[in-house]
Amino acid sequence: MYEDLIETKLESENIFDGNLLHVKKDKVRLPNGSEAYREWVKHPGAAAVIPYTDKGEIILVRQYRYPIDEVTLEIPAGKLDVAGEDPLECAKRELSEETGYMANEYTYLTKLATSVGFSDEVIYIYAAKGLKAGKQHTDEDEFINVVKVPLTEAVKMVLDGRINDGKSITAIFMLDRLINNSNSPHDV
C-alpha cells in the first residue's frame, strides 16, 4: 500500500550530534528510481499533558523560548529522557516538575508528529484530571510561571494567536472537544 510514495534510505551520514538533537543527511532512492538527499533532525520524542481542574480551568506554563525569541504559554511537556521511556511516565514527571501538580487520572489524547518535513519528533499528549497541588521543582535551567486559564478562554487565546505552540493548540482543541461534545469517543 502506497509503494508509489515510499523513499528508500541508501546511505546515512551524521552531520551534527548534540545533547538533544542529531542532524542527519540521508541519500534516498525515490519512487521513480532517482536519488535525492534528505536532511533531517533525529529527536528522542516527548510527552505533554493538559491538566484540567474541577473548575474548568487548564494549567499552563509561561516560559521564554529562545529559538523564537518569545515568552510562550504552553501545556507542560518534556523530552523522553531515556530510550524506551513510557511517554505517560514522562508526562507525569513533567506535570510535577513544571507545575507541582499531580493527577489521579490520565487520558491519552493523541500522538503529534511536530515537523514531518525535517524531524522525527513525536509528542504523546495526555489529559489529566483529579489534580492535587504540590511544589514546583523545575530543572536548574528552567524558569517557568504556572498559569490557570479557563478552557473556554484558552480556546479564544488559540484563535487570536496568544497561544501559538502546536502541541498546546492540539491539546486545547482536543480537550475542548472532549469536554464540550457529548458524542466524543473519549472519556475525560
> Chain-centre distance of CA 60, in angstroms?
13
Q: Which of 28, 70, 22, 50 is nearest to 129 (CA)?
A: 50
- The 8-class DSSP code of residue 19 comes to S
User: Helix or strand or coil: residue 55?
Assistant: coil
Q: Who's near 27: CB < 8 A, 6+ residues apart?
A: 9, 10, 11, 12, 35, 36, 37
- Examine the residue annotation and report whether 140 is marked as an active-site residue of this protein: yes
Catalytic site residue from 3, 89, 140, 142: 140
Tell me which residue of 43, 19, 18, 15 sits closest to 27, measured CA to CA.
15
List active site positions.
140
